[in-house]
């Protein structure tokens, strides 16, 4: 798989969709440089009243329905790997497997990092609505939740002042994404590419957003450069210990703030991107999705999903579709929802478009 080369060119139940009625900075995000230092980033992250925490209670999960849906989504699996055995039942308000999430990925500063930033907001949201309807048509049994998957920390070709090769997006831009998500009745995912920083350093800086019931998290091993290599030179990695740190952090936020379970997206398209997958701990407060993040022709994507997602089960699965990269080699095409559902076991419950 190739790197995302642009980086180096310079609610669930309705209760879960409580989005604050007055998020600040409702206009489009403006450019501007933010500091790479933790001290300044934390200061910028002081929670304003418009981003206060919403606390709610959620009815317990219907365990019989949960089990039935897991079996349905495993469909033709004959290996015994799916549904995953021994996973705890989630807390009330869980999104998966009751819904499928269809997300648009990207960054508002760039038209090349994904569909989220490529199109003007109104056009982008209209296109997202169209994709949601396509998935609802392909699988009428599974209702769909739209989402905006925003890259909040972006790996860079330049080291920056602290030499960490990552750029933290301004909080005002995250606020703008929240406003767009509210218009679409959509979830929000904040994604982190740590580069030469660490997930331990970057995750806590986003806590004020992760206290919101509609905001979830993504971690990208491709740009986690544990050996000090500059991002883009090779594919990075996370270990189960890193995933467990993030899920533990999110679980604490859920318990302390009366939130529904968080969804944790872990991107993956090679075996070494996630090591010791059997040691990943599953928690009632967090739903872990291993997202097949590679691009290419359909047969290549099918092989990647089979070997690195299906054969190394964690909890739930995701699948990424690229509007441009999947069709680079004619006569290949981007897979349709019907084709994804006919090719892959288990059915991916998180779908991401870039």
- Using one digit for the tens of pLDDT, what is the confidence trace for 163-222? 999 999 999 999 999 999 999 999 999 999 999 999 999 999 999 999 999 999 999 999
pLDDT at residue 20 greater than cutoff 50: no
When pLDDT is cut at 50, 70 and 90, the band that residue 56 belongs to is: low
Block residue for tokens 């301004």: 170
Q: How far is CA 319 from the centre of its chain?
A: 11
pLDDT at residue 343 greater than cutoff 80: yes
pLDDT at residue 14 greater than cutoff 80: no
Residue 51: half-sphere exposure toward Cβ, Cα within 13 Å: 22
With residues binned 3-state (H G I as helix, E B as strand, rest as coil), the percentages for the chain, rounded to 5, are: 35, 20, 45
Burial class of residue 298 in the structure, from the number of CB atoms within 10 Å of its CB (0-12 exposed, 13-18 middle, 19+ buried) = middle
When pLDDT is cut at 50, 70 and 90, the band that residue 302 belongs to is: confident
Q: pTM of the predicted model, to two decimals?
A: 0.84
pLDDT at residue 76 greater than cutoff 50: yes
pLDDT at residue 342 greater than cutoff 70: yes
Question: What mean pLDDT is predicted for residues 238-250?
Answer: 98
**What's the pLDDT tens digit per position in 121-178?**
999 999 999 999 999 999 999 999 999 999 999 999 999 999 999 999 999 999 999 9
pLDDT at 332: 79
Identify the DSSP state of 160.
Answer: T
Burial class of residue 286 in the structure, from the number of CB atoms within 10 Å of its CB (0-12 exposed, 13-18 middle, 19+ buried) = buried
pLDDT at 78: 87
When pLDDT is cut at 50, 70 and 90, the band that residue 251 belongs to is: very high
Block residue for tokens 């209702």: 143
CA distances for 17 relative to 11, 64, 136, 214, 230, angstroms? 5, 24, 19, 5, 38
At residue 110, the 3 state secondary structure works out as: strand
Relative to beta strand 187-192, strand 215-219 is parallel
Question: In sequence order, which residues have a C-beta less than 8 Å from that of residue 250 and are 6 or more positions away?
Answer: 210, 217, 262, 264, 285, 286
At residue 150, the 3 state secondary structure works out as: strand
When pLDDT is cut at 50, 70 and 90, the band that residue 315 belongs to is: very high
Residues of the chain with pLDDT > 90, as a percent, come to 74
**What's the pLDDT tens digit per position in 1-10?**
433 333 333 3
- Which residue has better confidence, 190 or 36? 190
Identify the DSSP state of 103.
Answer: E
Domains of the chain and CATH, by start: 5-25+59-353 (3.20.20)
- Which residue has better confidence, 39 or 103? 103
pLDDT at residue 100 greater than cutoff 90: yes
Question: What mean pLDDT is predicted for residues 71-98?
Answer: 94
pLDDT at residue 42 greater than cutoff 50: no
């Amino acid at each position: 798989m190739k790197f995302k080369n642009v980086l180096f060119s310079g609610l669930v139940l309705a209760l879960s969709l409580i989005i604050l009625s007055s998020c600040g900075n409702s206009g489009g995000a403006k450019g501007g440089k933010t500091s790479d230092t933790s001290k300044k980033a934390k200061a910028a992250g002081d929670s304003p009243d418009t981003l206060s925490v919403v606390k709610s209670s959620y009815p317990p999960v219907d365990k019989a329905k949960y089990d039935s849906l897991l079996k349905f989504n495993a469909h033709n699996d004959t290996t015994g790997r799916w549904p995953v055995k021994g996973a705890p039942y989630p807390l009330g308000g869980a999104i998966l497997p009751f819904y499928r999430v269809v997300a648009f990925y990207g960054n508002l500063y760039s038209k090349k990092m994904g569909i989220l930033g490529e199109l003007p907001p109104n056009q982008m949201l209209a296109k997202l609505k169209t994709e949601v309807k396509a998935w609802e048509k392909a699988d009428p049994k599974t209702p769909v939740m739209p989402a905006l998957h925003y890259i909040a920390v972006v790996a860079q070709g330049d080291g920056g002042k602290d030499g960490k090769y990552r750029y933290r997006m301004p909080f005002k831009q995250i606020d703008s994404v929240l406003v767009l998500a509210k218009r679409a009745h959509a979830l929000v995912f904040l994604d982190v590419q740590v580069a030469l920083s660490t997930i331990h350093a970057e995750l806590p800086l986003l806590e004020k957003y992760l206290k919101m019931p509609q905001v979830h998290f993504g971690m990208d091993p491709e740009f986690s450069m544990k050996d000090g290599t500059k991002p883009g030179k090779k594919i990075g990695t996370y270990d189960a210990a890193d995933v467990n740190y993030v899920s533990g952090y999110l679980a604490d936020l859920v318990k302390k703030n009366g939130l529904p379970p968080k969804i944790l997206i872990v991107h993956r398209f090679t075996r070494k991107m996630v090591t010791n997958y059997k040691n990943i701990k599953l928690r009632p407060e967090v739903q872990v999705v291993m997202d097949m993040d590679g691009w290419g022709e359909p047969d290549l994507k099918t092989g990647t999903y089979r070997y690195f997602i299906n054969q190394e089960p964690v909890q739930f699965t995701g699948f990424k579709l690229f509007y441009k990269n999947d069709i680079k080699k004619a006569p290949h095409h981007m897979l349709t929802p019907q084709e994804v559902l006919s090719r892959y076991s288990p059915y991916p419950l998180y779908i991401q478009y870039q």
